Amino acid sequence: MGGREGGRLGHRDGESATVRVAPPAARAMIGRGGDPMQQDPGRGGLATEGAVGFMNGLDALFLYLESPETPMHVGSMHVFEPPAGGGEGFAAAVRAHLAARLDRADVFTRKLAPMPLGIANPAWVRAAEVELEHHVRRMRLPAPGTLAQFHDLVGSLHARPLDRSRPLWEMVVVEGLQDGRIGFYAKVHHAGLDGQAGVALAQAVYDVVARAAPAPLGAPVSTVATSGHEPGAARVAAAGARHNAAQLLGFGARLPALLRSVAQAVGPALGRQPAAGAAGAAGAPEATGGAGALLGGEGLLAPRTALNASISRRRAFATLSVPLARARAIAHRHEASLNDVVLAACGGALREWLLARDDLPAESLLAAMPVSLRRPGDTTSNTQAMMARMTLATDIADPVERLRRIRDASGRIKGALRDVKSAVPTEFPSLGLPWLGNALAALWGRGRLANRLPPLANVIVSNVPGPAVPLYLLGARMLHYWPVSIPYHGVALNVTVQSYAGSLDFGLIACRRAVPDVDALATLLARAFDALDADAARASDARPPSDAPPATTAPAPRRRRAAAPKADR
């Protein structure tokens, strides 16, 4: 495969091998007298100085928000058809496969280099070697190997933070699934990529055609020696000092223009009014101008529910797959977008879940939704996103009316975001930011402020466009691509959906204490799609895993505002 240089594995029989790789892009730069860490700024690459790459402000925030209770990595859970010859040795084959492809994504080889005393954002440097036996592991489920068992394993794996002394990614090959299928779980720190960059990373790992697994070359690959050399702490500190000084000077010079662009962008958004009759027709609040659009058409604060609490380290995970054509048909029938349908289904599921707990507020729940700031064609492995708020219309019992409310509200907020997002900076001076960020995150988590302060949003809902064609790993076809994202203090549930090969694959990840029955919530999400589908009686093909326990339906209790949850013990 491409990317391997030399083709010789220096080892004795029976030993694991070290492969030396000089990525093609690095070799080209070295040939020009350049450095392998440098990238073309015109393509959205990281700011660099020599072998030191500088983390942007949004990426660094994910490091400061991290704690033992809130690891800040994103991941995915996959099921593959049984590979040719069975799954024996599949993990070793994956290591060899990745060893040949480490050049295809920076996230595979770069690691953090902290600044002295944590005075500024860490830098990225290329690791001298990548120990694949650490990054790619093998596990086996006990019999009978159900999907529910796989869910539990993913919840446990996703709760464990990544090792910051290594490149910030891990993969696990999971054997023992029913029917001989292979499970796969991968995670990458959010400081290294957002959802769209994650899709680009998947393109580096998977194929769009079924390529046969290569014949093994001697001993299993354990370590890859890269073309990089890790600069010393003094060099990193000096480069960081120069970069931060330039940042401060540049930010000061750009500040007047930035303020003008923000005023020009936010002014029209705040002044925009909804189309005449739109609010009344949808049953939305009357007074929702541009400012209301920016806030999701609702008030400044969200109503409190059991989801809005400080969270523990334990995670619960569940999945659901819905045919993409079915969801699009619902959207077309109601002149809505696919994203509107996803939000309406989430609103319906959460309404029923909260009703069963006697915890449904009179006001609608609000969802925080990531909005990409990425320019077309930019595949840089970093974070370029902002958060918007959307109503879930959980105060509306009728599913179609709920969808219409969301459709009208999303139309207003899309217009506001078009004005605003071009003015949102992703980079800003970082001197002192680690101290401030870590202190605020510690105060928020250890002080359990999420239990005391009113929430800004109730749940995170994210919709990531994925590949339209099937993907393959070592010739095995991927059947599902379920995302696994991040809950946080105050938002104990994250629902992320990714389109894949004609399917909408939902991953529901939650704090296990706040949502112990996340599988039942997945069942309710399937029923919410049924309720939105006029043909649900004849075509109910959105199903949660067959081995998940069925949802229970409780009589509708009195709706009330939930009391503040109790702190962890």
Is residue 190 flagged as an active site residue? yes
DSSP tag of 201 = H
Domain assignment of residue 337, yes or no: no
The CATH number for 137's domain is 3.30.559.10
Average pLDDT value for the chain:
77
Domain assignment of residue 491, yes or no: no
List the structure tokens of 361. 């507020």
Mean pLDDT, range 395-424, rounded to an integer: 79
Specify the higher pLDDT residue, 361 or 55. Answer: 361
Domain assignment of residue 78, yes or no: yes
Active-site choice (190, 334, 480, 489): 190
Edge-to-edge strands, sheet with 73-80 = 136-140, 169-175, 182-189, 73-80, 476-484, 472-473
Residue 218 clears pLDDT 70, i.e. is over it: no
Share of the chain above pLDDT 70, in %: 63
Domain assignment of residue 27, yes or no: yes
DSSP-derived secondary structure for 111-126: EEEPPGGG-S--EEEE
> What is the distance between the alpha carbons of residues 52 and 543, in angstroms, rounded to a whole number?
48
> What is the distance between the alpha carbons of residues 84 and 75, in angstroms, rounded to a whole number?
26
Domain assignment of residue 203, yes or no: yes
In the prediction, which pLDDT does 236 show? 65
Strand 52-54 relative to strand 472-473: parallel, antiparallel, unpaired?
A: unpaired
pLDDT tens sequence across 168-195: 999 999 999 999 999 999 999 999 875 5
DSSP tag of 215 = P
For residue 318, the cross-strand partners are 508
Residue with tokens 């289904």, as numbered in its chain:
345
According to the per-residue pLDDT averaged within each range, which of 322-326, 380-384, 463-467 is highest?
A: 322-326
The count of structural domains within the chain is 1
Domain assignment of residue 472, yes or no: no
Residue 259 clears pLDDT 70, i.e. is over it: no
Q: Compute how many other C-beta atoms are within 10 angstroms of the C-beta atom of residue 90.
A: 23
Domain assignment of residue 364, yes or no: no
* 560 — pLDDT class (breaks 50, 70, 90): very low
**Domain of 191?**
17-36+50-231
Domain assignment of residue 140, yes or no: yes
